[in-house]
A and B are shown apart, each in its own frame.
Chain A
Amino acid sequence: GENVEQHPSTLSVQEGDSAVIKCTYSDSASNYFPWYKQELGKGPQLIIDIRSNVGEKKDQRIAVTLNKTAKHFSLHITETQPEDSAVYFCAASIGGGSQGNLIFGKGTKLSVKP
Chain B
Amino acid sequence: NAGVTQTPKFQVLKTGQSMTLQCAQDMNHEYMSWYRQDPGMGLRLIHYSVGAGITDQGEVPNGYNVSRSTTEDFPLRLLSAAPSQTSVYFCASSRPGTVNYGYTFGSGTRLTVV
Contact = CB atoms under 8 A, between A and B. Distances in A.
A29 interface: no
A44 B7 CA distance: 17
B103 interface: yes
A45 B105 contact: yes
A34 B100 CA distance: 8
Contact of A106 (B40, B99, B100): B40
Interface in B57-114: 58, 90, 94, 96-97, 99-108
Contact of B96 (A44, A45, A51, A98): A98
A61 interface: no
Given A44-B90, A106-B42, A51 B50 contact: no
A73 interface: no
Contacts of B35: 104
Contact of A51 (B42, B58, B100): B100
Contact of A97 (B101, B106, B107): B101
A99 interface: yes
B50 A46 contact: no
A100 B105 contact: no
A100 B106 contact: no
Nearest to B42: A106
Contacts of B42: 6, 89, 104-107
B43 A46 contact: no
B31 interface: yes
Interface of B: 4, 30-31, 33, 35, 40-43, 45, 48, 50, 58, 90, 94, 96-97, 99-108
